[in-house]
């Protein structure tokens, strides 16, 4: 597993508000990818890295363990280059699907919680941009405020849930005056 170094971010370009700084920093990281050639994993700060800890959950980990076991015992390597390339392509596709399912599940249950227990309550949010995108401070949830008025990025505002539909993964907030 490799990860190219992230894009440089000048200190003076770093916003003082934590939510804005995190969002800016997050966007500088590159996605990790699977490779047959060892390479730098900048996110972990390692010159080479492989993942082989969960052969029950990830087939690619099982393949890695089989390759290592064969090499260490002097047995023939079980998978050739072409077969490994096919396995890597399938593993990356599966990882993306699993990540998407996990994200949707987490988002669903967070919206369900907000729908049940926080509707009608004032919630604190940090304004992310001039388009009305905000992040609910206590929930790391991004949403849109319907009427923004005069709000500036980095400003902390009070909002309420205007509409919410966990099944559709939709939430809209309104500014509390």
Query: What is the b/e burial string over 90-127, where b = at least 16 CB atoms within 10 angstroms of the residue's CB?
Result: ebeeeeeeeeeeeeeeeeeebbeebeeebeeeebebbb
Helix and strand element counts for the chain (H, E): 3, 5
pLDDT band at 143, cuts 50/70/90? very high
* Residue 14 pLDDT: 60
Q: Is the pLDDT of residue 48 over 80?
A: yes
- Name the average pLDDT for the chain: 89
- This model's pTM is above 0.85: no
Question: To 5 degrees, how large is the angle CA 3–CA 78–CA 81?
Answer: 50
b/e burial code for range 17-38 (CB count within 10 A of at least 16 → b): bebbeebeeeeeeeebebeeee
Instruction: Tell me the pLDDT band of 16, cut-offs 50, 70 and 90.
Output: low
- Calculate ∠ Cα 120-158-153, nearest 5°: 140
In tens, the pLDDT along 67-114 reads 999 999 999 999 999 999 999 999 999 889 998 999 999 999 999 999
Q: Determine which helix (DSSP H) or strand (DSSP E) holds 41, and give its type and residue range.
A: none
Q: Could you give the maximum distance between any two Cα atoms of the chain, in Å?
A: 72
Per-residue pLDDT band at 66 (split at 50, 70, 90): very high
Burial group, residue 142, by CB count within 10 angstroms (0-12, 13-18, 19+): middle
Q: Which pLDDT tens digit goes with each residue over 115-135?
A: 999 999 999 999 988 888 999
| Nearest Cα residue to 59 out of 81, 92, 36 | 92
């Amino acid at each position: 597993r490799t990860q190219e170094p992230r894009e440089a971010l000048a200190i003076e370009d770093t916003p003082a508000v934590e939510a804005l700084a995190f969002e800016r920093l997050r966007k500088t990281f590159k996605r990790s990818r699977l490779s047959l050639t060892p390479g730098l994993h900048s996110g972990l700060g390692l010159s080479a890295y492989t993942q082989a800890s969960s052969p029950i959950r990830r087939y690619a980990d099982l393949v890695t363990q089989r390759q290592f076991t064969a090499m260490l015992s002097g047995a023939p390597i079980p998978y050739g280059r072409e077969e490994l390339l096919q396995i890597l392509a399938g593993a990356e596709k599966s990882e993306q699907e699993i990540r998407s399912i996990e994200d949707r599940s987490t988002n669903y249950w967070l919206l369900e919680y907000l729908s049940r227990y926080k509707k009608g309550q004032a919630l604190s949010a940090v304004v992310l941009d001039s388009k009305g995108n905000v992040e609910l401070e206590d929930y790391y949830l991004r949403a849109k405020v319907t009427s923004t008025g005069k709000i500036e990025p980095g400003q902390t505002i009070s909002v309420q849930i205007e509409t919410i539909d966990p099944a559709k993964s939709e939430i809209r907030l309104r500014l509390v005056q």
